[in-house]
Amino acid sequence: FVRPFREIPGLWKNGVANLYNFWKMDGFKNLHYIMLQNFNTFGPIYREKIGYYDSVNIINPEDAAILFKAEGHYPKRLKVEPWNAYREYRNQKCGVLLKDGEDWRSNRVILNKEVISPKMLENFVPLLDEVGQDFVTRVHKKIQRGGQNKWTTDLSQELFKFALESVSSVLYGERLGLLQDYIDPEAQHFIDCITCMFKTTSPMLYIPPSLLRRIGSKVWKDHVDAWDGIFKHADRCIQNIYRQLRQDTGVVKKYPGVLASLLMLDKLSTEDIKASVTELMAGGVDTTSITLLWTLYELAKHPAIQEDLRAEIAAARAESQGDMLEMLKRIPLVKGALKETLRLHPVAVSLQRYTAEDIIIQNYHIPAGTLVQLGLYAMGRDPKVFPRPEQYQPSRWLKTQVHYFRSLGFGFGPRQCLGRRIAEAEMQLFLIHMLENFRVEKQRHVDVQSTFELILLPDKPILLTLKPL
């Protein structure tokens, strides 16, 4: 006997009152903790209404499987209203991130071939490998200049530059030079705009941006300025390649980057290409850099695991004789470490889909068209899903265990993260080079939690010490 939708436990009757309580609990910064608390109170499924968002929340991998099987041909996520509102306000085209339906699908299919197809790794890896090497060179220089044979610092700004340099090298097939001594103020401004764009999104998630716009609120203005900065810089980079492509008469010698490939392919309109390339550039900075920062932090906390990874890397290096593509096939523990980081510190608190058909979860009927959220942060810390969840154990991702719908940091299916292959290769190559060159240590007694600024971020600066090996 299946129970009806309206019997799902939770607070969904008064969206406005719930929004008020959410605000009192500082929910805009603590969304992940509030979700944890709700699962503790209501069990593995609850319904919630905050402001105008009415959603069903789930936590079990088996239930996630049911959800994703019902996502339909045009999987649809929760709409981040302020992002769409900006595009409407400035008359900008949406890229694949914000498109839906057939428009999304037709763009995504073409982008997939150039961005997420495993075949492209051949092109991406040499570019990303060079950026990783340059990062190491930069750290060696910093250490030499300090004169103490070590460097203690909050690496986040350095990692932002690394991530922007990485994603740009793949998108544009050329280096921006962000790891040099001189940093282009335009690029620095772009980085700051992305941080600000994320930060100003979360307080607007539950309030209609049109309202905030009308009352001239500061958060909306800051949000618009941030996106303006992002579009302006991305546009400059795109124009640059566009111009080069028109001047270049000779035959192409090397891989020209994602943007030039898309332009030459001529299957998407220039406007569509620009919109998605801008999203890729903006989406490629804070995501990988914060994940790398968390990974270094965990490896500093667990020196023995750090040694295990280093040993695996050394063996892989010897076996692959300088072929980096080969090397990436021989580092399961490094890959496990990244999965482990995303389990404990996911970029996205939740994955969401509107169901395309009726389903049954936890014996409740859920009608088609319902917004269902998988609590990714909560799932990663659930002892029923991951034994001893508080422990950082890259080895739990080796072949011995069942991983059915447990590794979801990049989402799932045709709507999963478009930047996934770039992100994975970039992060793996970074860890290879860093662990081959430095030992990572941290100060004792500093426990870092997360704060929600649309993506999850460390709630305080993480200070790490890098020592040459």
167 binds, among ligand 2DC, ligand HEM, none (CB under 5 to 8 A by kind): ligand HEM
Least Cβ distance, residue 286 to ligand 2DC (angstroms): 7
Burial (Cβ within 10 Å: 0-12, 13-18, ≥19) of residue 147: exposed
Contact of 245 with 63, CB cutoff 8 Å: no
Cα separation, 261 vs 301, in Å, equals 42
Question: x/- string (CB under 6 A) for ligand HEM, residues 332-371?
Answer: ----------x----xx--x--------------------
Indicate which single residue of 213, 416, 458, 459 sits in contact with ligand HEM (rule: CB under 6 A): 416
Instruction: Tell which residue, 52, 104, 59, has the closest CA to residue 77.
Output: 104
- 156-160 contacts at long range (C-beta below 8 A, 24 or more positions apart): 156/289, 156/290, 156/293, 156/461, 156/462, 157/191, 159/289, 159/290, 159/292, 159/293, 160/191, 160/195, 160/285, 160/286, 160/289
User: 464 pairs with which residues across the strands?
Assistant: 153, 442
Contact of 8 with 46, CB cutoff 8 Å: yes
Least Cβ distance, residue 156 to ligand 2DC (angstroms): 16
Site residues for ligand 2DC, 166-225, by CB under 6 A, read: none
Phi, psi of 53 (to 5 degrees): -90, 115
Query: Does the protein bind ligand 2DC through residue 289 (CB under 6 A)?
Result: no
Six-digit token string for 100: 């839906």
> Interacting stretch for ligand HEM, rule CB under 6 A, among 194-202, 263-271, 300-308, 411-419?
411-419
Indicate which single residue of 47, 49, 76, 77 sits in contact with ligand HEM (rule: CB under 6 A): 77
Contact of 140 with 466, CB cutoff 8 Å: no
Helix axis angle for 156-172 and 270-283, nearest 10°, is: 150
> Interacting stretch for ligand 2DC, rule CB under 6 A, among 124-132, 149-157, 281-289, 353-361?
281-289
Chain-centre distance of CA 114, in angstroms? Answer: 19
Query: Does the protein bind ligand 2DC through residue 229 (CB under 6 A)?
Result: no
Query: Does the protein bind ligand HEM through residue 422 (CB under 6 A)?
Result: yes
Indicate which single residue of 57, 276, 288, 350 sits in contact with ligand 2DC (rule: CB under 6 A): 350
Query: Does the protein bind ligand 2DC through residue 78 (CB under 6 A)?
Result: yes
Contact residues toward ligand 2DC (CB under 6 A) are 77-78, 80, 97, 279, 282-283, 287, 347-350, 352, 417, 454-455
Contact residues toward ligand HEM (CB under 6 A) are 77, 96-97, 108, 167, 279-280, 283-284, 287-288, 291, 342, 347-348, 351, 409-412, 415-419, 422-423
